[in-house]
């Protein structure tokens, strides 16, 4: 639980130090629709449509000269069209802080706590939905995600970012993930931006399970005008095991953002030769 305590203390401390004024509340609702052709990620494929409702209540501090604070409560309701036994609800609370240290250097910190009530076990004792990271569980589950990042803009069109994160899960046996990452974003034209990122992850699920993963990804974003954006990305993950497993992924996204609403259409494809982990990343599960 120390990441949440540290994160909350740091965020509130920075807020008080900055002398922030009273802020404002806002409410929103996000609805997403997903089609999954293999919800259990098994040889016997089972397909379904999944609808998610995510209402949100947020408090934002008034914009300070160099910083702001955002506090959010966001429950998530997940409904399966054909397999209602897989329906799920979780409760998500977060604190986010942003501070502009210099005209070119900024600091971001966030802490997110997710509580998921116990779920009845299905006919399949282990629900290996790997890409979303869920598994059958008969007890309440708690996840905490702490992130700390620094962004530096050495040139007007170039941005560098370094980050550290710690993910923790409490469920029967605690599991953790440590992540260190660096990324580069380059504005190529007035409408096009290219990105490149590397991350090293260490995932600890049990005392004798310690996986190390190297992630490399690249992406291209184009501003189509009138609030429309498109993005294409691809990545590879090298699992540092004896078999040197390599996972591949790619995605396409089309979105439109307006002052009061937004919509996104996305397609994601991942290929993994086998599942080496005893369970997925805590961040994926949250």
The pTM assigned to this predicted structure is: 0.75
pLDDT digits 0-9 by tens, 227-278: 999 999 999 999 876 656 788 999 999 999 988 888 999 998 888 765 444 3
What pLDDT sits at residue 43?
75
Residues of the chain with pLDDT > 90, as a percent, come to: 52
Confidence label for 21 from pLDDT (cuts 50, 70 and 90): low
CA atoms in the 13 A half-sphere facing the CB of 245: 13
3-state secondary structure the chain: CHHHHHHHHHHHHHHHHHCCCCCEEEEEEEEEEEEECCCCCCCCCCCEEEEEEEEEEEEECCCCCCEEEEEEECCEEEEECCCHHHCEEEEEEEEEEEEECCCCEEEEEEEEEEEECCCCCCCCCCCCECCCCECCCCCCEEEEEEEEEEEEEEECCEEEEEEEEEEEEECCCCEEEEEEEEEEEEECCCCEEEEEEEEEEEEEEECCEEEEEEEEEEEEEEEEECCEEEEEEEEEEEECCCCCCEEEEEEEEEEEECCCCEEEEEEEEEECCCCCCCCCCHHHHC
From 219-223, 237-241, 281-285, the region with the lowest mean pLDDT: 281-285
Backbone φ and ψ for 284, nearest 5 degrees, come out as: -65, -40
The pLDDT value recorded for residue 18 is 47
Using the structure block, give the residue that is written with the tokens 């089972």.
46
* Cα Rg of the chain (Å, integer): 20
What φ, ψ does residue 99 adopt, rounded to 5°? -140, 125
Report the mean per-residue pLDDT for the chain. Answer: 81
Report the range out of 39-43, 112-116, 149-153 with the highest average pLDDT. 149-153
Q: What is the arithmetic mean of pLDDT over 132-144?
A: 65
Higher pLDDT, 37 or 265: 265
Q: What is the pLDDT of residues 176-187, one digit of tens each?
A: 999 999 999 999
- In this prediction, residues 78-84 reach a mean pLDDT of 90
- pLDDT at res. 164: 97
- What does the pLDDT read at residue 7? 46
| pLDDT score at 92 | 93
- What is the predicted pLDDT for the residue at 85? 79
Burial of 79 (0-12, 13-18, 19+ CB in 10 A): middle
Lowest pLDDT segment from 48-52, 125-129, 194-198: 125-129
The total number of residues shown for the chain amounts to 286
The mean pLDDT value for 159-174 works out to 89
């Amino acid at each position: 639980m120390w990441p949440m305590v540290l994160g909350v203390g740091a965020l509130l401390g920075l807020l008080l130090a900055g002398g922030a004024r009273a802020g404002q509340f806002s409410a929103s609702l996000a609805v997403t629709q997903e089609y999954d052709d293999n919800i259990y990620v098994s040889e016997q494929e089972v397909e379904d449509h999944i609808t998610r409702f995510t209402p949100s209540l947020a408090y934002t501090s008034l914009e300070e000269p160099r910083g702001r604070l955002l506090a959010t409560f966001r429950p998530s309701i997940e409904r399966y069209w054909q397999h209602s036994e897989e329906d799920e609800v979780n409760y998500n609370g977060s604190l986010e802080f942003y501070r502009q240290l210099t005209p070119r250097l900024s600091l971001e910190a966030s802490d997110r706590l997710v509580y998921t009530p116990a779920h009845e076990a299905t006919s399949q004792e282990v629900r290996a939905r790997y890409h979303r990271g869920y598994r059958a569980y008969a007890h309440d589950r708690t996840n905490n995600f702490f992130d700390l990042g620094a962004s530096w803009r050495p040139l007007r069109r170039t941005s560098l970012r370094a980050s550290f994160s710690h993910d923790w899960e409490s469920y029967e046996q605690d599991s953790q993930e440590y992540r260190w990452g660096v990324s580069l974003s380059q504005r190529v034209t007035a409408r096009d931006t290219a990105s490149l990122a590397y991350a090293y992850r260490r995932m600890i699920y049990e005392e004798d399970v310690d996986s190390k993963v190297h992630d490399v990804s690249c992406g291209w974003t184009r501003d189509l005008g009138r609030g429309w954006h498109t993005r294409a990305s691809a990545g590879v993950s090298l699992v540092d095991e004896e078999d040197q497993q390599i996972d591949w992924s790619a995605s396409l996204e089309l979105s439109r953002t307006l002052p009061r609403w937004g919509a996104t259409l996305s397609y994601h494809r991942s290929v993994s030769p086998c599942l080496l982990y005893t369970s997925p990343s805590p961040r994926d599960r949250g």
